[in-house]
Structure 1
């Protein structure tokens, strides 16, 4: 344009239409000297080409905002308003803090000031939508901020380009939550703990309040029903396993953890149990007239009190059965539960259901193994006249399962007692079954009155046979059945204890003065590993000594070696002030590692001795003429004991056993051999006859025409039980007769 003084000047010219109230069209014309740069150039040198190149919002859902150097909005496309919730008329001509006051707007505006001053862009900045847009709230946007410069590099304003990142952000959050689920749910094999872990993870990442209710059969390890729900008017009992809230003390809950939960007969809960499908109420209605008002007024009051406005009920499935339900509620979070939230909840519950089912299966197997082992262990073990006994058996914890520890107290002939402790490798019901096999075999061998080393040799053969029978022909080395065992026989008549062990820890002996020692016994190889001979050792014990037999679970710990555990056992057993039973409890409580990783067994036996007036013994030459003398001495001794009523039967037993010993005891023809007779009065009246022979007698059923063979048959008829055992210089035949209660 030409200046009034005639020279030419460049101006910026802006012509805009203006609609008046009278319906006439007006024009606004503004001319400005180009040398005076405004905050934003009037011509479309930068902004107009930029906006002109933007595609339609429906084709490219990217929001664009252009702000001047005062950060006032100059240009904005419709897409931006549909995403962050600020409509275009409210945005134009205003700064962000004016259009949507708040802390987040102030933070973003400070960032734009920084971009305007430094020229450095800010890339991928996440922020939350300011106002609900298109009925959706809490949208997450990712924005990038760039400074716009003119040709001379002077700042013209800030351009903001944003995209909706809600879905990708929520997807990342869901993946993060599911990753947490793999680490935090199912850390134990406790169903109640697993339910609590699910509730803890759901709050606050998914809900403000969550509960997990399990059918009562699940914590008990029982088989759940295929479909839970009302059955003949009765709803199965549920128990609260998990409970979490954003508020301390979970004031929203009517039931504490572990308590039975009331389930309304007509409610979304029973509907979920019947159908096995999730139930969602984005807008929870607790107004009068709903199912809550009719069947659960207390729960309705809680819902209104804590402003519970959105609800999800998800069934907990496993192996075609419903284990329980998980409930998720929002209170302070204004968002409504959406389909994505339900998918996340179902994935979390599926993960928890797998852990719950594993825990339930483990609990069921553990209960079966524990029941089997309980049946296989002695219930009323007694040491008779030989010893007072006390024992403790503690199974491993729920994670490791039941082990293969076992023990036994076996009465033997002649008032003796066998004390046994063993440990089969492995855990679970298989170990318990193998334990039962070994205990049965041990009792059978003990009834045969074998010495301890011979018992272990036979047990080793039995373990080898069992292993071979169970071996897989394709992988024979994969099947093993190893175990350790300590077998001891105590004789109260001589106060001697004969022991042998197969890879087992040595026993502890506490003398009457509470000094604890570990005798040096031949170790022996564990059962089932390799054929090896076993050796016995015999010790003489003072009356009132205590034998302590135990398994390695009592002395072993992950941070200590076996010797340190044995020293701890020594200190724990040195308690003269305690009774035998209290000493047993105290020792186990002191030594048992927490948490235990193996079974622990402790068997204590306080020895007794038979007094001199309870035992009578004689030696006779191997001559038929001495039978009469033996009968006379027997009758005289029974009279002294006040057992005259047993004299006749005992004399017959002595006569038959002597005759048998004379006929079969000197097979080598040595006439200098003697025959021993011993009478023992304890809980029974035991008659023992020993000779130099090694052949075991057998009971015969003679024919009417036979002149011999009725001796042992008669002994069996007269006695409660009888048997034979090897002794160092021959064999011994014994017979027990029941004593009257007063004796």
Structure 2
């Protein structure tokens, strides 16, 4: 009855003062049939404060001052029931009241027998009762598994919780050794650990794993925490070892779920590729959650369109985009990748997509209507042995884009609510990534389509140059950019070659590129020198930047570069100016590749800084290469010097076909998926022979008009173009007459035979001729009007010495 006392040494005989067989810590009193005290124990002295000499031979009820009603109840019940247990109010010797728990029983069969009364402080008794209740509840009602082994490591006690936890009845383990109830390979280790606990007295906590029946080692086992501790009696003797077992599988499963969610956050959505994203979802789920996973998406999502919020059609038609299994042969798959999968209205997939809610079937019933209607599918699932089924929608921003189907056939555990919460979380994350990939694919296609429509589809084929080109858009991460190129036929058989680059990617870069390309074409039609053209283009970019930056929602032009080259096949020279663009390269037929030293100039849009034009001689047989910076910085280390070296190597031997040179540039300088857009233009200039050009200097007299007509007629006869003489004489006559009457300086006439017949009249004046319609009474003013009527094209270009008025006439 006493509580253990570990601070006192053992008493003689091996028992301590606190032993349960020593009741000195309780009051033991023997009274006769008259209620006189016959025996008064030491415990009674300690509890009530009366010495034995003061208590013996005195009525016990008077000594303890027990109230009459309680005294009467005790006597009546004792006499009637042959024993009594209850609570009394007694008083100590110093007068303090004391609640006691007492038990009285007769020491004989008649009423003359003495009585044994055992009493203890009520608070102490209640504490002991609570301790006993806790021990009983812990052993019989607690979810902890409890076991006790004796010093020989034989089971002596096993509670019901441990029976249920390990699935072995207690009767089959009681009396058996500890090593007989664990796997053979773990027995010695368990026995050694148990003996160590009993010898040292140090508790040990061990986490053990047990595979569920029928499951392979690839699935999470049951996890249990086993706490072992030594059992001793009050004398310090070892009685055995206690073991408390707690099933912490749920805790470990929650940790595994959190780890899986963290892994999914890293793996799913690593790219903006839709197919890769859904495959990453399937790879995360198998085998950690399911044995087989299939991801089906609606056709609208795959094609980048906005899907309907819910599926309203009579049957759900989805397209299989990803699937993953624990086996490579996919035995549970009922559709190949890319196939259209049709589910009936009663199927879980259709219900999931139509409602946007998950469908959990812990136990698959193969006789359900949606499976029984499809005999082939039902047979396949039955053959594999699928037993649990889960379908979760892929929803993002209020839109259902598809469904993820999970099944288990090798893992014996059915899907439960925890699995559903986990898969919903993973599917929600994947759905956002899928929607991002869909939106990006749609915008990327739109930007790419815009850019391709803005780029030249078919370059002109002038006689002055042969050209080849490449445009390679960036990969899907960067998106389309603002690189462009152009070949512009100019007056006098000259050719304008343009390459430009707008910084950035996406719709804004493509749209800005289209604006700049159109502006260059317009300015080139004015026959502006390269440096003046870039100056006008610089002003345009600055104005675009100011206008767009005023709108917070429209990003401004953050930078652009451009190179403009005008090649003259008659003089065999090229006038080049660049605005922050890489220099052009020229591959000579008889020496090494050269990068032309053209002043770089500032990028477009800075404003206020001049551009310089450089004239470069272009020998016959050489090749010019114009490119954007993405070509020379495409290497992994973005080493510009290495890029120039590789470009020079690719341009070597310029006598090769231009397409072959372009192929070498692409293969030697570009990776499979360049980070930036790349555009380059390769041109082989061809000079115009002297026999196709005739030039005369004319006097500033009206008689020069007739002389010009005569010279023109003679030259056309030499070129076998007599049929054009009448129209040619008219055009030359009007152009020379205007130059003599309205201009200043020397006047010259040049005829060029190319694809067209070209007339050029130059003078020293910078005044611009204007085409006007003369009135009926006007004697003049019809010259340019007649030229415009008979010529295919006409125009004016300005030089440092004056201007040139030119006109073109079609050849037969």
What is the aligned counterpart of 1:683 among 755, 761, 784?
Answer: 755
- Determine the C-alpha separation between the residues in 1 that align with 2:231 and 2:13: 27
- Determine the C-alpha separation between the residues in 1 that align with 2:797 and 2:570: 17
Distance 1:151 1:129, change over 3 A: farther
- Determine the C-alpha separation between the residues in 2 that align with 1:445 and 1:9: 120
Check conservation: 1:406, 1:601, Cα contact below 8 A: yes
What is the aligned counterpart of 1:145 among 228, 237, 255?
Answer: 228
In structure 2, the partner of 1:53 is 135
- Determine the C-alpha separation between the residues in 1 that align with 2:747 and 2:212: 110
Is 1:693 the counterpart of 2:771? The answer is no
RMSD value, Cα: 3.0
- Determine the C-alpha separation between the residues in 2 that align with 1:329 and 1:567: 57
What is the aligned counterpart of 2:463 among 385, 388, 393?
Answer: 385
Check conservation: 1:460, 1:531, Cα contact below 8 A: no
Distance 1:370 1:624, change over 3 A: same
- Determine the C-alpha separation between the residues in 1 that align with 2:493 and 2:593: 26
Unaligned runs of 5+ in 1: 1-7, 15-47, 667-672
Shift of the alpha carbon at 1:52?
6.1
Specify the SS of the correspondent of 1:53.
helix
In structure 1, the partner of 2:247 is 164
Check conservation: 1:280, 1:311, Cα contact below 8 A: yes
Instruction: State how 1:284-683 maps to structure 2 within 5 Å.
Output: 284-287=364-367, 290-295=369-374, 297-472=375-550, 479-513=556-590, 515-556=592-633, 557-576=635-654, 578-666=656-744, 673-683=745-755
TM normalised by structure 1 equals 0.86
Greater relative CO, 1 or 2 (CA 8 Å, sep 6+): 1
Distance 1:124 1:701, change over 3 A: farther
Is 1:242 the counterpart of 2:322? The answer is yes
Distance 1:9 1:516, change over 3 A: closer
In structure 1, the partner of 2:350 is 270
Specify the SS of the correspondent of 1:333.
coil
Is 1:194 the counterpart of 2:194? The answer is no
**Worse-matched range after superposition: 99-108 or 656-665:** 99-108
- Determine the C-alpha separation between the residues in 2 that align with 1:396 and 1:415: 35
Instruction: State how 1:49-88 maps to structure 2 within 5 Å.
Output: 53-55=135-137, 60-88=142-170
Shift of the alpha carbon at 1:687?
1.0
Check conservation: 1:514, 1:575, Cα contact below 8 A: no
- Determine the C-alpha separation between the residues in 1 that align with 2:552 and 2:480: 29
- Determine the C-alpha separation between the residues in 2 that align with 1:361 and 1:116: 67
Superimposed CA distance per residue, residues 419-462 of structure 1 (whole angstroms, 9 cap, x where no aligned partner): 11111111111110111111111111001110000011011000
Superimposed CA distance per residue, residues 187-209 of structure 1 (whole angstroms, 9 cap, x where no aligned partner): 11111011111111101110111
Check conservation: 2:291, 2:409, Cα contact below 8 A: yes
What is the aligned counterpart of 2:798 among 715, 726, 733?
Answer: 726
Distance 1:479 1:380, change over 3 A: closer
Superimposed CA distance per residue, residues 180-228 of structure 1 (whole angstroms, 9 cap, x where no aligned partner): 0011111111110111111111011101111212223333323223323
- Determine the C-alpha separation between the residues in 2 that align with 1:252 and 1:171: 28
Shift of the alpha carbon at 1:124?
5.3
Superimposed CA distance per residue, residues 291-346 of structure 1 (whole angstroms, 9 cap, x where no aligned partner): 22322x33323322322211111111122222222111112110000011011111
Check conservation: 1:450, 1:725, Cα contact below 8 A: yes
Specify the SS of the correspondent of 1:658.
helix
Shift of the alpha carbon at 1:114?
4.5
Distance 1:503 1:729, change over 3 A: same
Superimposed CA distance per residue, residues 479-498 of structure 1 (whole angstroms, 9 cap, x where no aligned partner): 44311111101111221111
Shift of the alpha carbon at 1:236?
3.9
Aligned length: 685
- Determine the C-alpha separation between the residues in 2 that align with 1:645 and 1:537: 41
Shift of the alpha carbon at 1:621?
1.5
TM normalised by structure 2 equals 0.79
Superimposed CA distance per residue, residues 221-271 of structure 1 (whole angstroms, 9 cap, x where no aligned partner): 23223323635x7x5451x33222212343332444444445456522222
Check conservation: 1:186, 1:352, Cα contact below 8 A: yes
Distance 1:339 1:453, change over 3 A: same
- Determine the C-alpha separation between the residues in 1 that align with 2:669 and 2:339: 34
**Worse-matched range after superposition: 79-88 or 180-189:** 79-88
Shift of the alpha carbon at 1:99?
5.1
**Worse-matched range after superposition: 329-338 or 103-112:** 103-112
In structure 1, the partner of 2:287 is 204
Shift of the alpha carbon at 1:512?
2.7
What is the aligned counterpart of 1:180 among 263, 266, 269?
Answer: 263
Specify the SS of the correspondent of 1:337.
coil
Larger Rg belongs to? 2
Check conservation: 2:588, 2:654, Cα contact below 8 A: no
Shift of the alpha carbon at 1:365?
1.0
- Determine the C-alpha separation between the residues in 2 that align with 1:474 and 1:457: 27
Specify the SS of the correspondent of 1:382.
coil
What is the aligned counterpart of 1:93 among 175, 195, 203?
Answer: 175
Superimposed CA distance per residue, residues 41-68 of structure 1 (whole angstroms, 9 cap, x where no aligned partner): xxxxxxx988963435797533322222
Instruction: State how 1:707-722 maps to structure 2 within 5 Å.
Output: 707-722=779-794
**Worse-matched range after superposition: 655-664 or 69-78:** 69-78
- Determine the C-alpha separation between the residues in 1 that align with 2:575 and 2:616: 6
Check conservation: 1:84, 1:141, Cα contact below 8 A: no
Distance 1:107 1:86, change over 3 A: farther
Superimposed CA distance per residue, residues 606-662 of structure 1 (whole angstroms, 9 cap, x where no aligned partner): 111112222222111221111011111112222222322222122111111111111
Unaligned runs of 5+ in 2: 1-11, 22-129, 215-219
Shift of the alpha carbon at 1:597?
1.3
Distance 1:430 1:379, change over 3 A: same
Superimposed CA distance per residue, residues 540-580 of structure 1 (whole angstroms, 9 cap, x where no aligned partner): 11123211000111110351421221111111121457411
Is 1:121 the counterpart of 2:193? The answer is no
- Determine the C-alpha separation between the residues in 2 that align with 1:661 and 1:481: 46
Distance 1:407 1:278, change over 3 A: same
Is 1:706 the counterpart of 2:788? The answer is no
Shift of the alpha carbon at 1:78?
2.8
Shift of the alpha carbon at 1:404?
1.3
Distance 1:312 1:126, change over 3 A: same
